[in-house]
């Protein structure tokens, strides 16, 4: 079973991406992605949606 999560930019706090992860995956996702608001690659962290 997979759950839906958002990926939030750490710099501006906006959720720019949505993805899914396995429900039994305990660790928080964190990845560098392009933020259209900051206009650069920033760290995006998992948030609940």
Residue 5 touching Zn ion (CB under 5 A)? no
Residue 37 touching Zn ion (CB under 5 A)? yes
- With CB under 5 A, what is the number of residues at the site for Zn ion? 6
- Given the complex with Zn ion, which of 3 and 47 has the nearer CB atom? 47
DSSP string, 11-49: TT--EEEEEEEETT--SPPEEEEEETTTTEEEEEEEEE-
Rounded CA gap, 32 and 34, in Å? 7
- Given the complex with Zn ion, which of 21 and 45 has the nearer CB atom? 45
**In angstroms, what is the minimal distance from the CB of 4 to Zn ion?**
21
């Amino acid at each position: 079973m997979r759950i839906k999560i958002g990926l939030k930019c750490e710099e501006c706090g906006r959720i720019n991406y949505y993805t899914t992860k396995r429900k039994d995956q305990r660790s928080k996702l964190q990845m560098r992605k392009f933020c259209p608001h900051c206009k650069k690659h920033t760290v995006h962290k998992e948030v609940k949606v």
